[in-house]
Amino acid sequence: MSKKVFVVTGSNKGIGYGIVRGLAEKVADSVIYLTARNTTLGDQALKKVHEELGAKKKSEILFHQLDITDEVSCQKLASHLKEKHGAIDVLINNAAIAFDEDEVECSEQQVELTFSTNYYGPKTVSRYLVPLIKSGGRLINICSSLGMMKNKYSIDRIEKFKGTYTEADVDGFVEDYKRACKEGNRTESGFPKTYYPAYQVSKAAEIAYTLLQSAELKHRSIIVNACCPGYVATDLNNHKGQKTIEEGADNPIYLTTDQNIPNGKFVIENRKVIEWP
């Protein structure tokens, strides 16, 4: 019987690292890919997780370079996985970035980087790796409860996602926000303007896209969920979060390994399913 293969993006530190470490402790006789944009940091993380786990490690952990904003990098990982394993069992899209651009004028560079990493990045990774997921496999997109839309967006923005929508609609939502930033009219355009606003919009878009993926992959019996790990102390929030890396990894690991999990849902901390948007 071939070993199960798990791929975790952005996993040289933070929640992604916690997921890799937690899976290696829980899942036996499998292969877990720790990935990072920077090869040196990835190699250091690989060495660290082996040292920390020691005899507790039940599965093989390997490193492969992956920059989710670089299509060639995504292609290379997909080619490697196909050549070495033929297929994968689980993809966890974890890599993310955030800027607290509360000022009236948001930085165009920060906004572009936020969406290329948090929304278009997971889409690119999925385009190359989802075809490799076995029937009955799983796809988990690490999102955030900040992606909830109630009381933060205009009614028409919220209503758009209550009914039937398309990937083009989600792309349009993202591009509308980027345009509103350039024009300086985020509030008038129905978007939030304070507390990591670009991050909020990127995660709302990622949740919306996840729910589309669930419907599209149903015929292959692939279980797809979006999840929030909670407010975890990581570099992303300057370590302001109250939860530990291990606590943050609990929800993604549950959705990866448990037999009785939901499908096509947004699962927040404490494994609670909530309706989006």
Region at 239 (left for phi over 0; alpha for psi -120 to 50; beta for the rest): left
Is 165 a residue of the active site? Answer: no
Give the closest residue to 88 by CA, choosing from 64, 53, 104: 64
**What sign has the CA pseudo-torsion 63, 68, 70, 74?**
positive
Longest dimension (CA), the chain: 57
List the one residue out of 65, 98, 50, 43 whose CA is nearest residue 235. Answer: 98
Q: Are 15 and 94 in contact (CB under 8 A)?
A: yes
The one catalytic residue in 120, 199, 209, 231 is 199
Helices (H) then strands (E): counts for the chain = 9, 8
Catalytic residues: 199
